[in-house]
Chain A
Amino acid sequence: MKTTKILIGICFALLLALSLVTLRQKEALLILNWGEYINDEVVERFEKEYNINVVISLADSNELFYSKIKSGTTAYDLVIPSEYMVQRMFESGMLQHIQKEKLSNYHEDMFLPGVNGFIESMSAVFPEYADYQIPYFWGTFGLMYNKRKTGLEEIIKEKGWEAFFNEAELPTGTEVGMYNVPRFAYAAAMFYNHLSPNAIPNEENIAIAQRTLSMRKFNEWGTDTLKKNIQKRDLDLAFVYIGDFLDMLYQEINDEVNPKDISDIAYDIYIPDETIAFMDSFVIPKNARHVDLAHAFINFFLDPQNAYENASVVGYCTPLVESYNMILAGKNSDDKYLQNWALAIEKYYPLPDETWEKPYKGTPLTNFDVNSLTKITNMVNNVKTR
């Protein structure tokens, strides 16, 4: 009996200690981010330098970012949504102006030409875009495919979307996956029909999209599972973020036991001319409590060295010219990983040349209202349950 009492006593003491540690509420900079989308070491350095706690919460969709801010349960200081969500947040009056004079690292031509081009075309539909966000990472969607499937690489490079949707074009037994976000599936169907991914989902377009998506049965509607299944050879072709592909690639060239060369990777990605382009950027919500610190944080990540280190963990390409050049300089390094990283960035994020119509590939998505999204979701559900 005595031992039991002592044990219970010890348990309670431990519980109290735990509670004290957990509840020690320090003033903190609250950030809402995607999962594993930041280098923790860089964040730690920021915490030391500014003597503040940074608490990062995670969400896995732009819509969730929006509803998390809208519900007002937490006053986030910084959020990292994609461009169309920046527009939607701005239109709902949720964002505040970024005070560029507070960003000492910021200067006019610090971004890659593609990023500048992206901002320019966004500004055509949403003039305030440049004043309300600072680019964080950017990229496109593409068709990730399995190189081991004979004939697949050739046909995808030759026909792109035509092959993706037509079962007859693909080698027999090709397993195809689609990104399980209705908006992206709709965009893919629009690309196949050479329409804009931002075409309003009226009855006609919904019918077109439904017909296109019903042309074949997709083996999988997934998100992060698509890239893993292609790597595992359980899937041959899928519409994914370029970062999904690079993620898998980095994992293999960075593997501790068996690091591979970029040329040995058994899968690749093809970026069709018509695809989704996206840019995730820092925005500051209106009700942020630490506006100055939020600016300091953005500024910290505009430092080329920090951005370089951050990009080394994340997989997407940095928007900063200087950091981009630092990555490419890795080609001459002895470190095999840095070499492979440089090669990957050079190959998958090429600088534009005169043959390009615009300095970046793809079309950014614009904001759709709730009713349009519901229509698209419903259409995709109809496709799945047909």
Chain B
Amino acid sequence: MNKYFKKLAIPYFVWLYVLAIIPFVIMAILSFVNNEGLNFSKAIFTLDNFGYLTTSSTVIAFMNSLFYAVIATLTCIVIGYMVAYAIFRSHFKNKFLVMTILILPMWSNMLLRIEALKNIMEPHNIITDILSKLGIHVSLDIAGTPLAVIIGLISTYIPFMILSIYTALEKIDYSLEEAALDLGLTETKKFWKVIFPLSTKGIVSGSIMVFLPCMSGFAIPEILGQGNILLIGNVIDQHFRNMNYNLGSLLAVVILIIILGAIFLVSKFDKEGETLL
């Protein structure tokens, strides 16, 4: 098979170099100059942009991103594992169907979902209105708090975690489980010694798919944090909006380097480099 299809990979190399590497290089250049928008004619070399990296708000925003992403990812692992495992162990005839129905919400617009989530986190909303007409008076007032942002992150990205853990569980050979039971392991021991280690790949890829968008996104903290919670994605977005492409690029490049470092670590961990998904 090797000799025939090798050429098939070449266009993809070209494609990725043009569309993924060149923009990165341009951004790296942008972070060392001072110019207007994307007009390089009046560009002056400067290191001033780096000064903003250490301003307190940028540092706090970065720490916030890290903090929220870690919390959200850990929670997603726990909840996602339980859900995926429950489906995996369930007696449904068509588990794939159950799985897809479970992640169906992923297919409606994310912005709308977050808006809706924000609405119900406020004291007055459509659900409390209906309930109060029925004589039940309950309300929630968490919009604008860190809790709201974390709930939003989990609600949005948990389908990715469930999906990848479930895929990993599905691949486990049933004969391994039988062997474990034959060798006298209890159900709990079997889980920790056989199933869990074999599904770590799913956890790793799920974690990456949850962690990175949590880290770089800006819509969820903006809407659910009611503008009071600042993540690094918001700061990048603000600078691009103000047309400060230099500072925006610098922050983006820094984030990208961190992410690439993470990928590098992951590819060390998994020699084939196919961990994701």
Contacts and interface: CB of A to CB of B under 8 A. Distances in A.
Interface size class of A (residues with CB under 8 A): 20 to 34
Interface string B211-239: 00000000000010011111000010011
Nearest to A368: B242
Contact of B56 (A63, A92, A377, A385): A385
A61 to B, nearest CB: 6
B124 A233 contact: yes
Interface in A54-83: 61, 63-64, 66-67, 70-71
B49 to A, nearest CB: 10
A333 interface: no
Contact of B238 (A219, A222, A377, A382): A377
B144 A219 contact: yes
Given A219-B144, A378-B57, A385-B61, A373 B227 contact: no
B23 interface: no
Contacts of B241: 61, 63-64
Chain A residues touching B, majority SS:
helix
B227 A220 contact: yes
A234 B122 CA distance: 7
Nearest to B235: A381
Contact of B228 (A70, A221, A378): A221
A216 interface: no
Interface in B13-50: 36-39
B78 interface: no
Interface string A171-186: 0000000001010000
A70 B37 contact: yes
A216 B235 CA distance: 22
A384 interface: yes
16 contacts: A63-B243, A67-B37, A71-B38, A180-B227, A182-B238, A220-B226, A221-B227, A221-B228, A225-B118, A234-B143, A370-B36, A370-B243, A373-B242, A381-B235, A384-B230, A385-B60
Interface of A: 61, 63-64, 66-67, 70-71, 92, 180, 182, 218-222, 225, 229, 232-234, 370, 373-374, 377-378, 381-382, 384-385
